[in-house]
Amino acid sequence: MTVKIFKPEACLLDEKLKYGYGIAVENGEIISVDESSRLIASYPNALLEEWPGLVLIPGAVNTHNHSFQSLLRGIAVDRPFLEWRDESLYKFSPKMRTVDIYAGALFAFTEMMKSGVTTVCDFFYLHNEGIESDEAVIQAATDAGIRLVLARTMYDWDGAPAGYVEDVSTAIFNTETLMKKYTGGMVRVLPAPHSLHAASPAMIKAGYNLARKYGTTYHIHVAEEPFEVEQVIKEHKMTPLTYLDSIGVVDESMVIIHGVWLNDLEIKLLGDKGGQLAYCPSSNMFLADGVTNIPAFLKYGVSIGLGSDGACSNNRISIFEEMRMVSILQKVHTLDALCVNYKDAFRMGTIGGGKALGLKIGKLEVGCKADFTGIDLRNLSMQPITAAGNQFLPNLVYSMQPTAIKNVAVNGRTTVRNGELQSISEKRVLEKIGQTMQHLEENL
Ligand SMILES: [Zn+2]
């Protein structure tokens, strides 16, 4: 396989700007990080990928998204959670065909890739009986050129649209079929029992067991809204995480989504057991869920990744946006300007996400995947940057506008160049969205 050398103006290495550095890539992985001139001398036959004027940084990792929800953006905004759910999700998703699910995923993945995301975890639950819809999401990721972790949802609460629901044995069979089929490359599959309100204890245990069997993490929404906490206390006389621990599913394989309404003891329990958090600050604000106690998660050593959540509960799908949000939301909520700093936020949006997905991504290091974003060093939103470059990372987190995100590479392949999609035509993505929205409008 041919070696490719990425030669930007600078690389962000160990959170510092290093001018003249580049990265050599082979088979989608980083094989060397060094001064570009030395790389070119070491690999004289390598392909040269020049990124002039750009700083090469690790690609952002979106730890939690629901791709089909991109199609519901702008519908049922400014509503409480349950009203939002009934007026958007439950109303539209029964009308979505496989082609619509493909269109929604292609839309979500290309939009977020243009904003610097190189890996997305799609927490996908619109199965419509079987695995055809799941494979449509996988096809969309392949066509977009983004790295995908399909958190295949296991859902058996029958109050939801029928397309979400499977019985436990069907959910195990379908999830395991996909886990066995997609074992490497650009697509991985992991189990995702939906939540305590949408998955039975048997379903949650089944998801946990699949994760243990295949050595993956499993993802589950926990305590997003007070109603879930009240319901679990009423049914089990325990708070959500304590109950999950009582059924034996809290350990290092667990990644909880949201965790807004966990108490201090539950957060400590998660930390002690090695569990992780996928945090979606903008979505929590948009739906008026509340504010997760991030300082406590940090204090108890819980690893944190960031998620955009679905694009109809945010409504942006950018992880750089979430880096800024986690820091400023927590500061205003705790009245403590030191509680989350820009380095914490950047790590959550890169390597923290990689850890939650069990992938070697989010860092510019030999052996990690060659997933990069190229930032325009001279974009006004990145200024000022003095010779030592100390402002680069704080500006990336706090002031950068999307106009500064120029190039994106996934697995060593440049998928966005100068802000334009290279992997698929944007016109084609727009056509697919248009066709799907026409179908939905005509069939409501
Ligand atoms: Zn979610």
Place of tokens 């999950």: 244
Domain map (residue ranges) of the chain: 4-57+370-424, 60-357
User: pLDDT tens digits for 45-85?
Assistant: 999 999 999 999 999 999 999 999 999 999 989 998 889 89
CA of 8 to the centre of ligand 1 (A): 36
- The stretches in the chain having pLDDT less than 50 are none
CA of 32 to the centre of ligand 1 (A): 37
CA of 384 to the centre of ligand 1 (A): 37
CA of 386 to the centre of ligand 1 (A): 40
Pair type for strands 147-154 and 117-124? parallel
pTM, to two decimals: 0.98
Q: What is the pLDDT of residue 81?
A: 83
What CATH homologous superfamily does 4-57+370-424 map to? Urease, subunit C, domain 1 (2.30.40.10)
Q: What is the pLDDT of residue 444?
A: 84
CA of 224 to the centre of ligand 1 (A): 9
CA of 154 to the centre of ligand 1 (A): 13
Contact 80, 226 (CB under 8 A): no
Q: Which fold has domain 60-357?
A: TIM Barrel (3.20.20)
CA of 66 to the centre of ligand 1 (A): 6
